[in-house]
Amino acid sequence: MATIKIPTPLRPYAGNNAEIEVNGETVGAILDDLTGQFPELKTHLYNGGELRNFVNIFLGDEDIRYRDGLDTDVEPGDKLRIVPSIAGGC
Amino acid sequence: MELRLSTDLYTQVTSHLESTFPNEGGGFLVGNLNGDTRTVTEIHPVENVFETEEQFHRFLAEDGAFQRIEDYADDHGLTLLGYFHSHPNSPAIPSEFDRVHALPFFAYLIVSVMPDGAAEGRLWELKSDRSAFDEGALTIQ
């Protein structure tokens, strides 16, 4: 069992929880478990089958893009976090 | 959605956005949530780290800012309500770039900034199906 911190804007789609307990041996499996528990999150995390480009997943303090992406191993007790890039333009 | 700011806080927002003109500036809105009404109690300007030559029409918050300010809000019993950014020389209307990068629930305060200073500020919220923004009520008092 690991935990994942939900960003404030997505908490309404995750039962208003800031943290969720999740199961999985990789980051991809963890996200599958999370979106299985809270299907409404899928629209905001994924565009088709790919994570939206402004959605970053951290394992501890490290962005999984600098590890093995969705294949990054997760150990019991690990702490993950969804961190959106905040961008705008005109 | 209604977003309430004191005149002093709104002036802090516009002063920051005027300071970054002609480039975009931005930051986070922190405060209290009460049903559909959000009351801003503090603002947290952050650095724009988009490529320098594109900052006249693009904003990207510095690495770590979201985590730092969300943790601060959570630890202090406050809510990260949304974020503000400027549209230099452009109207305070969300662009397609804004929509693609937007999050639901968040209050998006966009301020048009012109060469002679901040102009109109308008409030927006992404529809839950991500298709467009709805305009909210911005109350400055």
User: Which residues of A are less than 8 Å from B127 in CB distance?
Assistant: none
B44/B107 Cα distance (integer angstroms): 14
A89/B101 Cα distance (integer angstroms): 9
Kind plus residue range of the DSSP H or E element containing B93: none
Residue B128 pLDDT exceeds 90 = no
User: Which pLDDT score is estimated for B14?
Assistant: 98
Report the percent of chain B where pLDDT is more than 90: 98
Q: For residues B27-50, give the mean pLDDT.
A: 97
ipTM above 0.85, yes or no: yes
Task: Identify the three-state secondary structure at position B101.
Answer: coil
3-state secondary structure chain A: CEEEECCHHHHHHCCCCCEEEECCCEHHHHHHHHHHHCCCHHHHHEECCEECCCEEEEECCEEHHHCCHHHCECCCCCEEEEEECCEEEC
| List of residues 6+ apart from A84 with CB closer than 8 A | A7, A9, A54, A55, A56, B66, B103
∠ CA B108-B85-B71, nearest 5°, is 70
**Residue B29 touches partner A, C-beta closer than 8 Å:** no
| Domains of chain B: residue spans and CATH | 2-140 (3.40.140.10)
**Residue A8 touches partner B, C-beta closer than 8 Å:** yes
Q: For residues A19-40, give the mean pLDDT.
A: 97
Q: Which of A82, A55, A73, A88 is nearest to B23 (CA)?
A: A88
Alpha helices (runs of H) in chain B, residue ranges in sequence order:
7-20, 65-75, 96-100
Which chain A residue shows the shortest CA-CA distance from B84? A88
User: Which residues of A are less than 8 Å from B108 in CB distance?
Assistant: 88
Partner-chain contact A44 B103, CB within 8 Å: yes
Identity of the residue in A9, A54, A90 whose CB atom sits nearest the CB atom of B106:
A9
**Residue B60 touches partner A, C-beta closer than 8 Å:** yes
User: Which pLDDT score is estimated for A75?
Assistant: 97
Report the percent of chain B where pLDDT is more than 70: 100
Residue B127: which pLDDT band, with cuts at 50, 70 and 90?
Answer: very high
**Residue A9 touches partner B, C-beta closer than 8 Å:** yes
- Could you please state the CATH topology (level 3) that the domain comprising A2-84 is classified under: Ubiquitin-like (UB roll) (3.10.20)
CA contacts within 13 A on the Cβ side of A71: 1
**Residue A16 touches partner B, C-beta closer than 8 Å:** no
CA–centroid distance for B75 within its chain: 21
User: Which pLDDT score is estimated for B103?
Assistant: 93
Residue B44 pLDDT exceeds 90 = yes
**Phi, psi dihedrals of residue A4, rounded to the nearest 5°:** -130, 130
Size of interface A-B (CB pairs under 8 A): 82
Average pLDDT, chain B: 97
Residue A48 pLDDT exceeds 90 = no
